[in-house]
Amino acid sequence: MSREQRKMLDDLLRHREPAKSQSVQEMRANFAAMMAAMKVPADVRTAPTNLGNRPGVVVDPLQDARPGIILYFHGGSYIMGSPYTAMCLTANLVSKTRVRSVSLDYRLAPEHPFPAALEDALAAYRELLEGGAQGTSIVLAGDSAGGGIALSTCLMARDAGLPLPAAVVMFSPGLDRTHSGASIDSKIGLDPFFTRESFTFTDTMYLAGQDPNHELVSPARFADLTGFPPLLLQVGTNELLLDDSTQLADRARAAGVDVILDVTADVPHVFQAFTDIIDEADQALDRAALFITQHLI
C-alpha cells in the first residue's frame, strides 16, 4: 500500500476548481466530466438495454463469461450520474469476475424524489427474476447513493416476498440520511468531497420533505436486516460517510448476517474508481470480485 499515492490523490482532489453555487444541471455535467476521466478496462463490451421500464447498460466480458448477474446502481447523491459515470466500477467488476453486469439508469431527484429511484431498482430486480434468473444468481451492487439503493432494494425484495439476491456489495454507501454517525463531524476537513452542508443540499432534493428516519432512507439506523444475504461494505477512513458503513455492519452482525467491513486508511469517497492513481483501488476491487464469485451460484 502506497501512502505516497494516497497523498497524491488527496492533493489532486483538493486542488480542483473551488466549489461555487451550481445548478443541478451544472452539477450533473461536472460530475459526468470527472467520471469520464476514470480508467475503464478494455476487455469488456457494452450495449444499451431496458430493465424495469428504465434504460440501462449491459457490460459483458469479452470472453469466458461466468454465470450470474451483477445488478449495479451508480452513485451521485440521488441527483446526478448514470450507468456511464459508474462505468469504471462496473467494467472493472466485470473484468475481474467475468460476470455480466446490468447498470440501471434510475430516475433522479429533484425531478423524481424518494422513493422513485428505489421503485425503479426493485422493478429491475423483479424483471430479472421474472425473466428466469434465480435470486442466488444475482448480486446487487452500487457506489455511494447506489450502495444505499442496493441495500434498500434487498429490503424491499424481502418485504415483497421475492427471492433474495446472493449478496450485496457497497462501495462507500450512503446509508443514513439522518447523518447521526460521529464521522459526519470528525472527518470534516479530511473528506475532500463532502460537508454537512452539501449533504443538506442534496438530501433536501432527494427527500422533498419526507422523513429521513424511514428505514429505506436510513437503513444503517432503522432497517431490520433479518434473513439478509452476505454483505460487503468498502469505505475509506477519510469519509464523512464512514460511520454509515460501520453502523450498518454492527446492525448486520446483531441480526446474524454475514458481513465484511473493509476499511482502507487515508482514501476518499469511492476510492475504487481511482484505479490508475492508487494501488488500493485495484486491491479493493479484487477483494470485491472475490466476494462476488464466492457467493454466486
Residue with cell string 466530466:
33
How long a stretch of residues is the chain? 297
Catalytic, 144? Answer: yes
How do the residues of the chain divide into helix, strand and coil, expressed in percent and rounded to 5? 40, 20, 40
Backbone angles phi, psi at 145, to 5 degrees: -55, -35
Set 95, 119, 245, 269: catalytic member: 269
For residue 70, the surrounding DSSP H or E stretch is: strand 66-73
Catalytic, 269? Answer: yes
Contact between residue 69 and residue 139 where contact means Cβ atoms under 8 Å apart = yes
Beta-carbon count within 10 A of 4 CB: 8
Set 144, 152, 172, 218: catalytic member: 144
Catalytic, 215? Answer: no
What residue type is 208 in one-letter code? A
Nearest to 151, CA basis, from 137, 163, 164:
164
Set 239, 245, 280, 295: catalytic member: 239
71 bridge partner residues: 102, 140
User: In sequence order, which residues have a C-beta less than 8 Å from that of residue 130 and are 6 or more positions away?
Assistant: none
DSSP character for 255?
T
DSSP character for 36?
H
Beta-carbon count within 10 A of 34 CB: 13
DSSP character for 74?
-
* Catalytic residue annotation: 144, 239, 269
